[in-house]
Amino acid sequence: MTTTVLPATHPLNTDTASSWLVAAYRGERPAMTPVWFMRQAGRSLPEYRELRVGRRMLDACLNPELAAEITLQPVRRHGVDAAIFFSDIVVPLKLAGVPVEIEPGVGPVFPAPTDTPEAVDALIAGHPAAALEQALDPIRTAVRTTVAGLRLLQGARDPLIGFAGAPFTLAAYLVAGRPSKDHLAARAMIHRHPDAWARLLGWCADLSGRFLRAQVLAGASAVQLFDSWAGSLPAATYAAHVAPASAITFDAVRDLVDETGRRVPLVHFAVGAGELYGVLDLDVDCIGVDWRTPLDQAWSRMPSRPSVQGNLDPALLGAPWPVLRDAVDDVLRRGESAPGHVFNLGHGVPPGTDPEVLTRIVDHVHSR
């Protein structure tokens, strides 16, 4: 594969390659286990809630200064070892011109389901993925602003992780037209209209790949592909009808390397993936593990034996400190089975979490 060397000014070429996070993603054991939290930027922080007053979610995501500020907030407060780009899974769809709104208490809502071959073809024809390139400037600006803020904030210690939703999660929203508890519409379409499904998923993969690439070229030092609904699928269905599209998304950034020739770290995270760890291993550097499967057991099912990320149960954030501390220590111990470990939750920070608890976890992980 032809490689593309990132500019000399890219953070991976100036400072973040030696960060604890990038080292752990690349299968090394830095001086301290790095820690960050999925959804660390968001509703658990009072400073975030203050910024969001009167602003709709997607408007906040597409305001570069606001998105950068929200991304930086948990780094200031908690002392985590990475920032995760503040965005939403459906932002690439919005930028591609697809009508979508995030309704409070509901989630992404579309005017109509994309659940027939005709609807798929109309969607793709009306919103070509290549057109996304012209709409990505707010994302590029937000990433550059965030990276500049990180350099001032932590002396260049913290990398920025790029973020995108996996093709299956995007497609599941589109096919149902809104969130679904069982994703039955998407699961049925895989078998009822397999060719249309493949076209839809390929289009989603192209969007997510372009979204990730723009973030890396603007300064992100790693990327995470987040698949909210993969766990609703049997392993055989996932391997045949979903995994190839996720691999295509990663292909959009596989060629990007630092000046030493090492690629940008790739992280794959899927919710409810207990039976999928053997097929999530799409030539990535790290696989995130949700709270349902102990880290060492999940890692033993991964063919390439990558680094792991996770996986404290978010429900434990409300437990008494001795209980929570023991659970954190258990995750750290199980993470020793893998070549590298990034401590995280097994899913996102719940909205009602006491921020002081997260800060205490960071301090404890760093003290080990």
| Average pLDDT estimate for 40-58 | 93
pLDDT in tens, 86-140: 999 999 999 999 999 999 889 999 999 999 999 999 999 999 999 999 999 999 9
Bond into 13 cis (ω within 30) = no
- 3-class SS of residue 51: helix
Is a pLDDT exceeding 70 seen at residue 63? yes
Question: What is the reported pTM?
Answer: 0.97
Cβ(232)–Cβ(183) under 8 Å? yes
39: domain CATH number?
3.20.20.210
Cα dihedral 10, 12, 14, 20 sign:
positive
pLDDT in tens, 344-361: 999 999 999 999 999 999
Backbone phi, psi, residue 42, to 5°? 160, -145
Query: Which is it for strands 307-312 and 256-257: parallel, antiparallel or unpaired?
Result: unpaired
Cβ(333)–Cβ(33) under 8 Å? no
Q: How does residue 238 score in pLDDT terms, banded at 50, 70 and 90?
A: very high
Q: Which residues form the catalytic set?
A: 39, 43, 52, 88, 173
pLDDT in tens, 70-85: 999 999 999 999 999 9
pLDDT of residue 175: 97
- Residues whose CB falls within 8 Å of the CB of residue 21, separated by 6 or more in sequence, listed in order: 34, 36, 81, 82, 158, 159, 161, 221, 222, 342
Question: Vertex 358, ends 356 and 360: CA angle to 5°?
Answer: 70
Please tell me what DSSP assigns to residue 271.
Answer: T
> Distance between CA 161 and CA 90 in Å, rounded?
18
- Per the structure, the complete domain to which residue 261 belongs is given by 4-367
| Average pLDDT estimate for 271-276 | 94
Backbone phi, psi, residue 235, to 5°? -60, -40
Closest CA to 353 of 21, 8, 40: 40
Q: How many domains does the structure of the chain reveal?
A: 1
Query: Which is it for strands 160-165 and 222-227: parallel, antiparallel or unpaired?
Result: parallel
| Average pLDDT estimate for 339-343 | 98
Is a pLDDT exceeding 60 seen at residue 290? yes
Q: How does residue 176 score in pLDDT terms, banded at 50, 70 and 90?
A: very high
Q: How does residue 1 score in pLDDT terms, banded at 50, 70 and 90?
A: confident
